[in-house]
């Protein structure tokens, strides 16, 4: 059952989401060759606890760490390891927090030094598809509009949309109804109404959409070993329109990049309608 949120609840989710955004921004400065996922995991846990929150993933369904760290061909749910990052790697980091009873949940795929142009393109297109999906989260549309917009944006590039893993509602629990697939038909799924809060999170593979799970029971990788990208925002439906609660601002600030699509989206969401 979908739990529609009050304005007060949405503000609490926004605070949790922004703490995740700040955590990712803090990590952005640390990601370089030689650094390990376990080092980032420790930094993130300390940062979250120092801000009066709890790591949202630690212990969730038995997950052993604060961050899901999924390099290169890993899609999501990677367990942090002591393998040092190398120049040319991409690293998807998914982070959740529990603050004042509400969850925030956000992901970003970082680059380690210079990456190949085709890999950078995968990241750019996946990030664009996130905003295309968010733009469809408006009153009168259905859940299927979101996934359709994402799928339509990435598949012409030959990319695969992971089927088995989806976005979700967010609130007092990390994963609520409805499920938000990154594929679908515009008229399908539940109608979108004010008070809905979703974590929208395209997981896009450079090649096949097919995935394999590691024997660790967590890590998901692409079946063909090609890279995969993951970007996630928390979004509330307010007055019929999507409002992005999380932000990539802290990441871009740390990396010295312009805010780009997110800034454009906040100023002119119509640009992203197809």
SS3 110: strand
Residues with Cβ < 8 Å from 181, sequence gap 6 or more? Answer: 143, 147, 163, 166, 167
In the complex with Mg ion, which residue's Cβ is closer, 58 or 84?
58
Give the whole-angstrom CA distance, residue 39 versus residue 166: 28
In the complex with Mg ion, which residue's Cβ is closer, 73 or 234?
234
In the complex with Mg ion, which residue's Cβ is closer, 13 or 199?
199
Using CB atoms within 10 Å of the CB of residue 166, give its burial: 0 to 12 exposed, 13 to 18 middle, 19+ buried. Answer: buried
Q: Which helix (H) or strand (E) holds 109?
A: strand 102-111
Q: Can you state the angle between helices 7-28 and 37-50, rounded to 10 degrees?
A: 140
Give residue 181's region: left, alpha or beta (phi > 0; psi -120 to 50).
beta
In the complex with Mg ion, which residue's Cβ is closer, 24 or 122?
24
Q: Tell me which residues touch Mg ion (CB under 5 A).
A: 94, 105, 107, 199, 201, 232
């Amino acid at each position: 059952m979908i739990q529609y949120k009050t304005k007060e609840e949405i503000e609490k989710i926004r605070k949790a989401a922004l703490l995740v955004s700040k955590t990712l921004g803090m990590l952005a400065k640390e990601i370089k060759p030689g650094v390990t996922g376990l080092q980032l995991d420790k930094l993130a846990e300390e940062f979250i606890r120092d801000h009066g929150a709890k790591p949202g993933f630690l212990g969730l369904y038995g997950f052993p760490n604060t961050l899901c760290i999924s390099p290169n061909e890993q899609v999501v749910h990677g367990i942090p390891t002591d393998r040092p990052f190398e120049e040319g790697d991409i690293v998807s980091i998914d982070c959740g927090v529990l603050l004042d009873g509400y969850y925030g949940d956000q992901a970003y795929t970082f680059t380690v030094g210079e990456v190949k142009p085709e890999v950078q393109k995968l990241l750019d297109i996946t990030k664009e598809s996130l905003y295309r999906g968010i733009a469809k989260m408006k009153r009168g549309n259905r859940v299927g509009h979101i996934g359709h917009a994402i799928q339509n944006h990435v598949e012409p590039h030959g990319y695969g949309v992971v089927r088995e893993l989806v976005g979700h509602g967010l609130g007092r629990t990390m994963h609520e109804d409805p499920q938000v697939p990154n594929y679908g038909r515009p008229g399908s799924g539940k109608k979108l109404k004010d008070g809905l809060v979703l974590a929208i999170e395209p997981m896009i593979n450079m090649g096949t959409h097919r995935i394999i799970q590691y024997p660790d029971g967590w890590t998901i990788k692409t079946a063909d070993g090609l890279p995969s990208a993951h970007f996630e925002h928390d979004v509330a439906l307010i007055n019929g329109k999507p409002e992005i609660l999380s932000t990539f601002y802290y990441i871009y600030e740390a990396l010295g990049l312009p805010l780009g699509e997110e800034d454009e989206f906040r100023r002119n969401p119509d640009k992203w309608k197809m």
